[in-house]
Structure 1
């Protein structure tokens, strides 16, 4: 598949995540999109005449060629949504960007991915939480995701590097700059301890409207989002809402009712938008990360179910090999859509083959 065509698709003004995916699904590939005639393109859901004209005139290729030279010069990986190297968790989100630019060495599909977000005006309380949380998470060897912003984001990355935990910063601009510029030394360390990701091409400045787009990537890349401190109107709450919309787990640390920078966390907990967390053990229990829950035991019950359907056998084999899995990962490993998978899982639970754990995790009995 042509990388130039992939980049060109993401260069077309007015073609966002959803329309780009519609175009790919309708035409088959970026190359075929640019070969298609206007009469054919008019059948694509959500497309307008101006966008069709831009595609037909191939105006995006000049910008795409410039970006291709940039990523080749600086050894940046281009991750396209239809390819295997694209993050599998994010691929399941309906508004996932079709193209990501990644510089670093992190495994974006590792077993446990956690986003840690919060206020830009962190307090001693938030700083202590970050330090304790990241030190405790080291035993789980997760990937830590945040936005390299002031406050909690910076602390999450910093503590991850300190504890030799892989960490990735999601940027609201191109990879030709670091914002805030004061965080450049930490960002450079992260390149060998994780990396940096953006959907924006070089030359893109950190405009206000880019940050909510950045937040959806933070939420979509992760199994769980942890809010350490957040104002009621903070960007961290946007990330938490996005994580909920993607059916991901959300946790929030509570604060005193008089603390401005805990008002958002308290609101998430009060409205059942986040699990309350006071210590690492809370996270481990709800997500099924405790040692006893993670031990793989081959059940003699499985051999008794000789009448399993082919799909039930496939699910059983995946869980036998992988241990406990969230439903998103089960869908990826089996190739079954989540709507169908949920019905099959329900039947398997009733047969006593598997059981559900907190956090939409499933394992064999």
Structure 2
């Protein structure tokens, strides 16, 4: 226990609190500016199992605040890269890496095995999905958000009187009305400060020491160094799911602008060259002609909702049918369930192959 001696000797901490940490399981959703300090400090503190979930890749603009990464890692998946580095920080803890964006198809499988969930994402759809799933499963959710020079931190779904993200922000905002870091900017140090605050809340939840920031929203302005605590009021009119089905059927993909119609064969072939892409024929399996020169997954439109686990394995989904009608329906259906997938459909169906005659 020499590794953790500096925190074990703290008043009210001791071996018992350290034991709680070693036996805990924490899922960190997002391995970017907030997720990095959360992962580093929780791993260093001795959290027994850390889950790291992120489908994003490292970009040059990330390095200003995502200081775990370096220039040689641009283009690599954040979750996998973070996992490799955190493993070197503390080889005694267990790490689970989920190198994809959490969505409705995966959310329950992931969070059910963890004691605490940490929201370090900048996707509104994932944020509200996590909130609702944690509400249903009664999992503490450590929330934070950063914008330019300001941060927010709170803990939801904790204690005898749990508060909810929707108590503060009842509905998913229109993504056009709330600019993200790419559009509005953020000071790099703010990510480190805010992520550290989140890690501190996680430690307090697990060890049961100190006052957890539940029922309050901590606001921090890094320009003025002003810290404000706002009390949260319960909102009786918010969406409170009573079953998994309510969450699975709810549309969290309000900003799904990643759906593209394809008209040319060259565009289809370019889409299929993307990483982890698949062409899905949503016609009935007895319909002809078959597509012969491109690898195709045959899933009739009527069976699509039963094959979400199959679709989840791919990052890019391209739908095709006879005329484009069913493929458009498939796109609309899946965009609400898997909002972060890159989605395409062939607007004119199998006629996209007409000039090349690429059939059996």
Query: Which TM-score band applies after superposition, normalised by the shorter structure?
Result: under 0.3
TM-score if structure 2 supplies the norm length? 0.28
TM-score if structure 1 supplies the norm length? 0.27
Larger relative strand fraction: 2
